[in-house]
Amino acid sequence: MGKHLAEPDEQQPRAPIWRTKVALSAVLMLVVIVATVFGFRWLITDQPATQDSTFAVDNTDPEPFDDTSEEATDTTDEPSGAVTIIHVAGEVHEPGIVELSGDIRVVDALEAAGGPTDQAQLDALNLAAVANDGDYILVPDRETAQDFNAVDASAEPGVGGESTGTVDINTADSAALETLPGVGPATAADIIAHREQHGAFTDLADLEAVSGIGPATRERLDGLVEW
């Protein structure tokens, strides 16, 4: 009997331990809830500040780049230079008017006119000379270059890239006619004989009726003769 009555007295202290565990669990849950609430509120209140600072940077950066692009566009639109117009005649493959830009030399004008022919006497020209707007460049053949060397330099049209004047084919004598490109002593005599027999020349095309003068020679004489 005494043993059975003592057992209930040994089990009674366990009841307060369970109550303590329940109380501790409740406190921990309360701490977790409070921490979660404060953490959530911190995230909500800090997020707008980060977005505002980002927007401020985005709003100020694009303006300087736009100004630079406009300045670059204005610089690109500026004209690169004036066009130089030159008349190239004589022994070139495509005689006539050429248009070039920049710093032009005589050799550049010749290349723009198709380049010199096999009959061109390039030694009679200064290929490195500067060509200006409105210049007349005559490329002589070998026969014409020899005729130029036999005449006073002041009366030589076309040598050095410019013409000093024109020759009146209706009044010029043999010496004056021989200063023209492609016109030697024989051709000069034929021109004089033709105008004495048929009258004065009225245009450049009439010269083709003279023996020894064809379309190529007539083209070289364009701008060098008058009537």
Threshold 0.75, pTM exceeds: no
Q: Which residues pair with 86 in a beta bridge?
A: 98
Residue 211 confidence (pLDDT): 83
Predicted pLDDT of residue 154: 42
Expressed in percent and rounded to 5, the helix, strand and coil fractions of the chain are 55, 10, 30
**Mean pLDDT for back-to-back runs of 10 residues, the chain (227 residues):** 48 58 78 79 61 50 52 48 88 92 92 92 87 88 66 42 68 88 86 90 88 82 87
Residue 20 has a pLDDT of 72
CA 218/CA 211 separation, integer angstroms: 12
